[in-house]
Structure 1
Amino acid sequence: MELEAIPSGVMVKEVLLKLDLETLCSVAYVSRALRFSVSQALPLLSSLHLSAFSPDAQTLAHILCRCSGLKSLTLNCLRLDDSSLGRFLGPQLQELNLLSCTLLSYQLLASIGKSCLNLRVLMLELVEQESAEVFKSNLARMLRGCLYLESLCLKIRGTDVDASAFQTVQFFLPKTLRILKLHPVLELDGIQLISKLQVDRTSSETADFCITFSPITAGFPLQCLSLVLDIISDELFILITNSLPLLIELDLEDRPHKEPLLHRDLTNNGLQSLGSCHRLTSLSLIRSRRNHPVSFKRINDMGMFLLSEGCKGLESVRLCGFSRVSDAGFASILHSCQRLKKFEVRNALFLSDLAFHDLAGVPCSLVEVRLVSCSLITSETVKKLACSRSLEVLDLYGCKSIADSCLSSISRLHRLTSVNLSGADVTNYGLSVLGQGSSPITHLCLRGCKRVTDEGLSLLLHGGGTISKSLSALDLGHMPGISDKAILTIAKSGIGITELCIRYCFNVTDSSVEALAMKRRLRDEGKLLRRLDLFNCTGLSVESMRSLRKPSFPGLHWLGIGHTRLTSKGNAVVTEICMLRRWLTLCLDGCEMGCHDGWQFHRPDYR
């Protein structure tokens, strides 16, 4: 049946409203009939998710003026200021997620409170710009207007963030709140906040809080709490577990500037108090080393035993900074929490293969496993984990003893979609095994695998296995054995790759950029390169920038070119590309793919 013969109403309702914006734009160029149907569909869209790229004000206005029925809006605000958003705020919005708000001021908070009176979900990532007092006053005005919030996530980033910014937030929170995430918060302010959020246990036992969204007079029926603090103490931890018995998710991270005092640190007693949170299914406890090389030194295996016995219903566990916990402690969680689906441990000095020794003897439904910078983990652990046929994500970043011997086990996992082997001791032979396997891997990270060369990439993509068709994101950063030959293989054979990282690949030259530019020939298959990281590829010359001119790289959204000759002053080609490609973000600051972290330090003239 020809497209013109399909009724426009059927096309809009049954097909177009299920597509994202970029696909709709592509569909509109196919025929006049589809262009008309797309014009009919845009005003009917109820949600719009624009986080994959950072539009400028003109592009955003062009998009949103055609989407008049939006109730949910997600934006990457890297290139947007207050005036770009003000006219689109209104009572129709029920969900608003603003990411990477480099140029937005604190006054936007007051504007949201004035215009978005029916808001249910709000997430803001702001950068420190003005005083904490300005933030507090505008936050209060926002919360006074948004009386029906059910989910509130506020993050402030910067070089010297005032952690007292949320000092008065507890006085204005709506009673409808179910989810609260604040970053950063002082421990003392966190204690005051939790005291304000206490729930009357008697009334909570009879209320069905998973269904009702009306205000509850007996305190806040909070189900999800996430805080980034200066310190996690027993006092704060025990107050949380005693005051918020309805918690389903608890996510706490601290970033101490010095070694915590013994009487203010988290201990085994604090972990034991989690037993009172009978509904808890997700727990994340992180002690970051960002500000100081510290760990939870007052928690040992006994703390983990108490945690695993009191919280057997856990389905997700994230732990970082537990330097005194051994295999026995971590194994107790794996064996006691039989519904565990996500298990993540970072920087565990004493976590070894022994923790996973008896994994085959217990019910194993693990979907996601991340063992990051755990130096004692070897290939034997991976072989044990392979007994979980439901495994979808395997992150072994920094586990340097992972070798080829476990890749055959990985290659047989039929649900595995994401693998991180960064820093592993794998070789070209190991990649040939993956290349012949049946795992539908979409994301593969080989960063820092120094024994992998161009030949390994050829074996991976020409092995005849599933990965040659499923792979969409590939990280080859910090790999001295990668040259133009490997990139040419990717350009010709990696037809599904839309994200490619080759930062710090010094043997890559202009020929690689030219080869990737020719990938546009696969446009009809929708396999366009969306993100490309060339940071510190010193082999590139200024001339390679010409390959970025239209019609090359038609789908490119993000390009990292920091520390290369491509950023030379007065480069007219860079200026031309910025003018003609408004959907393209050029990152000069060395951010990881998409500027998900580090955007807060971008220069004002950032594009």
Structure 2
Amino acid sequence: MRGQDLINILLPDEALMEILKYVDGRSSDRDACALVCKRWRTLESASRHSLTLGGTGQSDSCLARMLQKFTNLRQVCVDERLPVPMPINRRLPHRQALLKPLLGKDVGVASSRKRRRSGQLVITSEDDNNDIGLSNFSDMGLQFLAEGCPRLEKLCLIWCSAVTSCGLVTIAEACRGLKVLDMQGCYVGDQGLKAVGRFCKQLEELSLRFCEGVSDDGIVGIAEGCGKSLRSLGIAACARVTDVALQAVGSNCSMLKKFLLDSECVRTEGVMAIAEGCAQLQTLRLQCVNVSDEALQVVGRNCTLLETLALFSFQKFTDRSMVAIGDGCKKLRTVTLSDSYYVSDRSLAAIASGCPQLAQLEINGCHNIGTAGLQAVGRFCRALEELVLKYCQKIGDEGLVEVGKGCSQLQALHLVDCSSIGDVAIRHIALGCHQLRRLHIRRCYKVGDRGVVPFGTHCKKLTDLSLRFCDRIGDDALIAIGQGCHQLRLLNVSGCHRVGDVGLSSIALGCPSLIHLDVSVCQNVGDIGLAALGKGCPLLKEVILSHCRKITDVGLGQLVTNCKSLESCHMVYCPCITSVGVATVCAGCNSLKKVIVEKWKITDRTRRRHATILTELCMDL
């Protein structure tokens, strides 16, 4: 009834909080709920479960105030990688008034930007290089967190260089229900990890990257204390972690399902210990130059549940390793092989024939793998959904022809610098893989219109097409795509010199859902193409026009007339675009967030009116 607040009168707090849980994830919806009245604001704050804190310049005190307001947090992330804040009295002074109710009275030291999500609050700093009044997140912040969030379940500390073992001990003692701990670039020593192992018996995930203070003792403490609960462990660039730590993990963490390791110190014995003791392993990612075939042979014998295997920069693995994996790991679905000179077609054939459930395959810089290996994939891996080939000079058309014949479920194909692959192979992919949604080809100079045209007829579900620096691609390919691929949302033809206004107009006419377009370094694209895009693609959000010499202010005006959702525009090295065109873009799109252009093309008036778009991203060329 008009004039009566029936909701607040009839609904108890518990019912209203339950309703707020189902509010759509858009920030505006939750903010609207918080602005209804003081009661709704209080209840909405109590429903927040996640907080992300950036480099505000007063990280400890800011977190303390956040904890007073949001009393039901379960997940907290502090990320010091975000840009350093700028003093509030030098820019955007209106933010001070907005932040006072949230952070307290003394917010003048640093300006912040807040962003809300469903059940989550994100506080980040303004982009600037000023270093006045900085204060890194420290052990005092962890003390506040321990006191304010005793039910904390997930803690991420990213490049918090002032955090030490003392703070981590405090967290471990107070937050014994901690399940996820992610530390990157934190100089936390063994005492902190030992405390986590002693008190946090429910810990399931631990990630350590660039933690120079961690050694074998800390990992042993985690393994002995959390061995029954630990499911995921990641160690990268921890120079003091050796085989001793991995042997402790293998002996105590029998339920480990995910293991990631990037180390030059670990040798074969350490990885063998993991494989022998962790039979439940499902994901294994290794970048270890000193590990040899014997380790992967043990993986093949013991880890029969393995689903994801990724091997990077391996110098001692040979075909023997891959044959063992193919013989034992029948459930493999994702395989990545990167930078090896010692595996050949025999390895790929063993994986293909032994792992029929393979869905994702990436071969990157393995120069001895050629056509025969890929042919085996086409014959045996009928469930393949994604194929990535990078810098594979020995793979020829016959390999992809076999994939086109046998892998009808393929949804994504990525080719980078595969100089032996041409139109014949690409044409067979189009003819046989009708489920294809994403096609990325870069610097494959034998691929031209003849290979791409069939995709317009046979691959109606294509949504993401990238043909970067393929010299033989021209308007005929885009005409076919425009006529047949009406669901296309992302198009990148940068460096395709034969693409012009005709092809772009066809895309505009047939692909109304397009949101991203990159035509940089396309010398034949001009105002006619931009005018067609303005009429046919009103949902366009990002357009990259750099190094397009025929585009003028007139074309930009036609583009922004109808593309009101445009958020990003790159137009560097476009000689026919002047300050008038820049002003037209900035004034014509209320949603615009980023403009990249030469500094001298920005007038004082444009800078005054659109400083938030141009100040940090303007280039002085």
Give 1:416's aligned amino acid: L
Match of 1:43 in 2: 46
- Match for 1:369 among 423, 429, 439? 439
Identity, % of aligned positions: 18
Give 1:305's aligned amino acid: Q
User: Are 2:138 and 1:83 aligned?
Assistant: yes
Give the Å deviation of 1:197: 3.5
CA distance in structure 2 between the aligned counterparts of 1:491 and 1:111, rounded to whole angstroms:
52
CA distance in structure 1 between the aligned counterparts of 2:242 and 2:337, rounded to whole angstroms:
16
User: Are 2:32 and 1:27 aligned?
Assistant: yes
Give 1:443's aligned amino acid: H
User: Are 2:492 and 1:409 aligned?
Assistant: no
After superposition, residues 548-563 of structure 1 pair within 5 angstroms as 548-549=610-611, 559-561=616-618, 563=619
Match of 1:177 in 2: 256
Give 2:568's aligned amino acid: E
Match of 1:265 in 2: 342
Match of 1:134 in 2: 213
**Which of the pair has more CA radius of gyration?**
2
Give 1:83's aligned amino acid: S
Kindly provide the CA deviation profile for residues 424-479 of structure 1, in whole angstroms up to 9, marking residues without a partner as x: 232122222222224412222222222223442222112xx3x21x2222222333
Does the 8 A contact of 1:121 with 1:150 survive in 2?
no
Does the 8 A contact of 1:272 with 1:306 survive in 2?
yes
CA distance in structure 1 between the aligned counterparts of 2:166 and 2:260, rounded to whole angstroms:
16
User: Are 2:355 and 1:280 aligned?
Assistant: no
User: Are 2:505 and 1:448 aligned?
Assistant: no
Cα pair distance change 1:266/1:428, threshold 3 Å: same
Kindly provide the CA deviation profile for residues 98-151 of structure 1, in whole angstroms up to 9, marking residues without a partner as x: 7xx456478589939947765656666659999885354697379547654444
User: Are 2:569 and 1:564 aligned?
Assistant: no
CA distance in structure 2 between the aligned counterparts of 1:133 and 1:429, rounded to whole angstroms:
57
CA distance in structure 1 between the aligned counterparts of 2:336 and 2:431, rounded to whole angstroms:
30
Greater alpha carbon shift after TM alignment, 78-87 vs 409-418:
78-87
Does the 8 A contact of 2:437 with 2:464 survive in 1?
yes
Kindly provide the CA deviation profile for residues 331-377 of structure 1, in whole angstroms up to 9, marking residues without a partner as x: 22232223222222211001111013344653521222222221111
Kindly provide the CA deviation profile for residues 465-507 of structure 1, in whole angstroms up to 9, marking residues without a partner as x: 3x21x22222223333445445544554321222333344465
CA distance in structure 1 between the aligned counterparts of 2:574 and 2:221, rounded to whole angstroms:
47
User: Are 2:438 and 1:336 aligned?
Assistant: no
Give the Å deviation of 1:178: 2.9
CA distance in structure 2 between the aligned counterparts of 1:26 and 1:512, rounded to whole angstroms:
36
Give 2:332's aligned amino acid: L
The 3-state SS of whatever aligns with 1:560 is coil
Does the 8 A contact of 1:124 with 1:155 survive in 2?
no
Match of 2:292 in 1: none
Does the 8 A contact of 2:233 with 2:260 survive in 1?
yes
Greater alpha carbon shift after TM alignment, 338-347 vs 317-326:
338-347
- Match for 1:253 among 338, 358, 367? 338
CA distance in structure 1 between the aligned counterparts of 2:67 and 2:581, rounded to whole angstroms:
37
Cα pair distance change 1:444/1:301, threshold 3 Å: same
CA distance in structure 2 between the aligned counterparts of 1:110 and 1:143, rounded to whole angstroms:
17
Kindly provide the CA deviation profile for residues 290-344 of structure 1, in whole angstroms up to 9, marking residues without a partner as x: xxxxxx3322211112333343332222121210110111222232223222222
Match of 2:450 in 1: 380
Kindly provide the CA deviation profile for residues 162-207 of structure 1, in whole angstroms up to 9, marking residues without a partner as x: 889786663465444333444x445x94755542343699x87xx9
The 3-state SS of whatever aligns with 2:414 is strand
* Unmatched runs of 5 consecutive residues or more in structure 1: 157-161, 210-217, 255-259, 288-295, 523-527, 566-607
CA distance in structure 2 between the aligned counterparts of 1:333 and 1:490, rounded to whole angstroms:
40
CA distance in structure 2 between the aligned counterparts of 1:442 and 1:311, rounded to whole angstroms:
33
User: Are 2:368 and 1:301 aligned?
Assistant: no
User: Are 2:418 and 1:348 aligned?
Assistant: yes
- Match for 2:596 among 531, 534, 538? 534
Does the 8 A contact of 1:356 with 1:381 survive in 2?
yes
The 3-state SS of whatever aligns with 1:198 is helix
Match of 2:530 in 1: 457
Does the 8 A contact of 2:454 with 2:480 survive in 1?
no
Match of 1:475 in 2: 544
Kindly provide the CA deviation profile for residues 205-224 of structure 1, in whole angstroms up to 9, marking residues without a partner as x: xx999xxxxxxxx7795433
Match of 1:498 in 2: 567
Match of 1:223 in 2: 307
Does the 8 A contact of 1:47 with 1:73 survive in 2?
yes
TM-score by length of 2: 0.67
* Unmatched runs of 5 consecutive residues or more in structure 2: 84-135, 189-208, 284-301
User: Are 2:447 and 1:391 aligned?
Assistant: no
Does the 8 A contact of 1:150 with 1:178 survive in 2?
yes
Greater alpha carbon shift after TM alignment, 277-286 vs 120-129:
120-129
Give 1:311's aligned amino acid: C
CA distance in structure 1 between the aligned counterparts of 2:242 and 2:527, rounded to whole angstroms:
51
Give 1:409's aligned amino acid: A
Does the 8 A contact of 1:252 with 1:285 survive in 2?
yes
Higher relative contact order (CA 8 A, sep 6+): 1
Cα pair distance change 1:331/1:482, threshold 3 Å: same
Match of 2:291 in 1: none
Does the 8 A contact of 2:386 with 2:410 survive in 1?
yes
Does the 8 A contact of 1:349 with 1:375 survive in 2?
yes
User: Are 2:494 and 1:422 aligned?
Assistant: yes
Cα pair distance change 1:308/1:471, threshold 3 Å: same
Does the 8 A contact of 1:441 with 1:471 survive in 2?
yes
CA distance in structure 1 between the aligned counterparts of 2:179 and 2:408, rounded to whole angstroms:
34
Give 1:249's aligned amino acid: T
Does the 8 A contact of 1:497 with 1:529 survive in 2?
yes
CA distance in structure 2 between the aligned counterparts of 1:368 and 1:118, rounded to whole angstroms:
42
CA distance in structure 1 between the aligned counterparts of 2:152 and 2:245, rounded to whole angstroms:
23
Does the 8 A contact of 1:366 with 1:388 survive in 2?
yes
CA distance in structure 2 between the aligned counterparts of 1:336 and 1:179, rounded to whole angstroms:
31
Give 2:494's aligned amino acid: S
